[in-house]
Amino acid sequence: MKMIKMMVMLAAFAMAAPISAEAPEDDAASADPPPAAPATVEEIASGVCAGCHNADGNSVIPMNPILAGQHAEYITKQLMDFKATGNEPPKRNSPVMSAMVATLSQEDMKALGAYYAKQKATPSSIAADEKLVEAGKVLYHGGNLGDEIPACASCHGPTGAGIPPHYPAIAGQHAEYTMMQLELFNKAERGGDDNNVMQKVLTRMNPLEKRAVSAYISTMR
């Protein structure tokens, strides 16, 4: 009788052993996978931004701005202006940029600002009309007193280095992009213009003056 009981106990133990050995594997299989690591700023720049601005921020597309060497605070502010917050629409209207920044956190935007500020800028290499450049140089540094147009240098500096965080560095920027932005400011279609400073200036400038200033800025080094 004792022998029978002993055999039953051994058989029960043998049947239970595989179950207990497999249990940890079942638990592991049912566990949630670890969360993906947040994208680094380099990954964001080379993935989200590179298509239009290149990974290092030196855009070769004239209608897209060169970001390399720009003030970190200015870039961060522009990224934030492109993003809708709650029920409020973006301050700057650009469906393309709004889509790009939709998933970026404020920390991501600050990191991108710092990243591009550290990159070495390659100025625009697109040839500009010499007469336009000369006319633009006069306007940039001296303004037009007759039409009450202040010198661009008064806010953006004599070398185009800008004054952060409100006034961006503009030296070497693509003329096409600069001209586009001047037109948007003129029509009050670009938000983020503190006290409408740019709009007030541009309403006094004629199309030729805008083109001239844009051309000169692209040649500044």
- Give the annotated binding-site residues for heme c: 49, 52-53, 97, 152, 155-156, 198
Which residues face 167 on adjacent strands? 163
Q: Who's near 121: CB < 8 A, 6+ residues apart?
A: 57, 58, 66, 68, 69, 70, 172
Q: Which residues are annotated as a binding site?
A: 49, 52-53, 97, 152, 155-156, 198
Torsion, CA 87, CA 92, CA 94, CA 99, rounded to 10: -50
Q: What is the C-alpha separation between 94 and 138, in angstroms, rounded?
A: 32
